[in-house]
Amino acid sequence: MDNRNISLPTKIIVYIIMIAFTVLTVYPIFWLVIQSFKTNTVYLTTNKLSLPASWYVGNYPFVWIQGNFFTFFVNSVIYAAVTVVAVVILSNMAGYAFAKISYKITKFLHGLFIVGILLTLQSILIPLFLMVNAAGIYNTRLAVLIPYVALGLPMGVYLCTDFIKSIHDELLESARIDGASFMKIFTRIVFPMCAPVSGTLAIITFTGTWNEFVLMNLMTATEKYKAIPAAVGRYSGALGSDYGKLFTSLTVALIPILIFYFIFRNQITKGVAAGAVKG
């Protein structure tokens, strides 16, 4: 559509809507950061929307040092990084096989992965816990990482398979005629071409892993293996909450997500555009 054919009133309405959505998206983040510079007493006794009369920075060193936030932060980074790398690579490999290798069992195996999208975490918590306990890996990082990767694969395989189907078979056949092996075709041609969908999948996997609480809390018993969501929960309880420290921990937990998004934002745009063109 040519922007020159859009009338001025229409442009004004569009920009007003865009500005409104931007404010609704950014203001909660701004409010969260502001509240982290208040003490619990100040937060409870003043207007919740007001700026702090005096900026209190003591919440940050308390949460980071005395709250042992560094340990939780490192565990979150490990869980998120390993899960993202594993899900992206395995999903692309499985997607390549399902999209370009035709066997009688291919559709059946692909269907099993797709069924995994319909499963909710709550419906498999008990059998998953029993399996982890029987395997002898309870209260270890593997007890968290293996389910994270397994739960991320159904959506990943679905996205990658659908994307790789759009790659022309002639391109892969020419590489095969030139003597390229199956893995070389994947690493040199298919995987680089899947950068848009891989970026989108990385964002989905990272945010889901970084914010996940129930599974991580169930599979670990000590703080040594717990992640940031457990640290945030320490400052909120049924009998009372320390809101200053709660908002501080949420602010620190939000920073990596924003950084990760800004790094891969172009890949997300390309992935959405590629999906729109393909459709």
In the chain, what are the domain boundaries?
Answer: 67-278
Ramachandran region, residue 136 (left: φ > 0; alpha: ψ -120 to 50; beta: rest)? left
The pLDDT tens digits for 76-127 are 999 999 999 999 999 999 999 898 887 888 888 888 888 888 888 888 899 9
pLDDT the model gives residue 101 = 81
The pLDDT tens digits for 51-68 are 888 888 888 888 888 878
CATH code of the domain made up of 67-278: 1.10.3720.10
d(CA 158, CA 237): 39
With a cut of 70, say whether residue 71 has pLDDT above it: yes
Residue 241 has φ and ψ, to the nearest 5°, of -135, 145
pLDDT the model gives residue 107 = 84
Sign of the torsion angle spanned by Cα atoms 236, 242, 243, 249: negative
d(CA 113, CA 116): 5
Query: At CB < 8 A and 24+ separation, what contacts does 168-171 make?
Result: 169/100
pTM to 2 decimal places: 0.81
